Amino acid sequence: MNSSSVVLLEKDPGVALSLVRLLQNQFDVIRIETSCDSLREGIFKQRASLAIIDVENAGFEEIHRLHLEFPHVSILCTHRLADEAMWAEALSAGASDLCDTFDLASIVRSAVGEMQHVRSAAA
């Protein structure tokens, strides 16, 4: 498994491109997807260990299905109105974290933390 591959499903194209720029030194492959179906395909093809998903593109039911379908993939959710209740719902659905869409530093910090967790678990 390529532990440095991430797929990204983000509603805001500007945020998606900014995340790619910020993550490119941490991950070998970063693939932007445009739908839940292409996200699934990207996870499978890239053997991704991390998916960053805007909850506005894929609701919590979809997050839960992805978690069940790809249990080896860490799921980091984003939402422009992230709060504690939504964070708890994201964790219940199988996500490892929920960050505010526009708090790019938190998203990167969480993504890098997940990558380090995956690498240490594999060792």
In the prediction, which pLDDT does 122 show? Answer: 57
The proportion of the chain whose per-residue pLDDT surpasses 90, expressed as a percent, equals 78
Could you tell me the CATH number of the domain that includes residue 67?
Answer: 3.40.50.2300
In the prediction, which pLDDT does 2 show? Answer: 40
Evaluate if residue 95 carries a pLDDT over 70.
yes
Alpha carbons 15 and 20: distance in angstroms, whole number: 9
In which domain, by residue range, is 99 found?
Answer: 5-122
In the prediction, which pLDDT does 1 show? Answer: 40
> What are the pLDDT digits (tens) for 6-54?
999 998 999 999 999 999 999 999 999 999 999 999 999 999 999 999 9
Predicted model pTM: 0.91
Evaluate if residue 121 carries a pLDDT over 80.
no
In the prediction, which pLDDT does 93 show? Answer: 96
Give the list of residues 6+ apart from residue 75 with CB closer than 8 angstroms, or none: 50, 51, 53, 63, 66, 67, 94, 95, 96
* Domain count of the fold of the chain: 1
> What are the pLDDT digits (tens) for 46-93?
999 999 999 999 999 999 999 999 999 999 999 988 788 889 999 999
Residue 40 φ then ψ, to 5°: -55, -45
Give the list of residues 6+ apart from residue 78 with CB closer than 8 angstroms, or none: 10, 15, 52, 53, 54, 55, 98, 99, 100, 101, 107
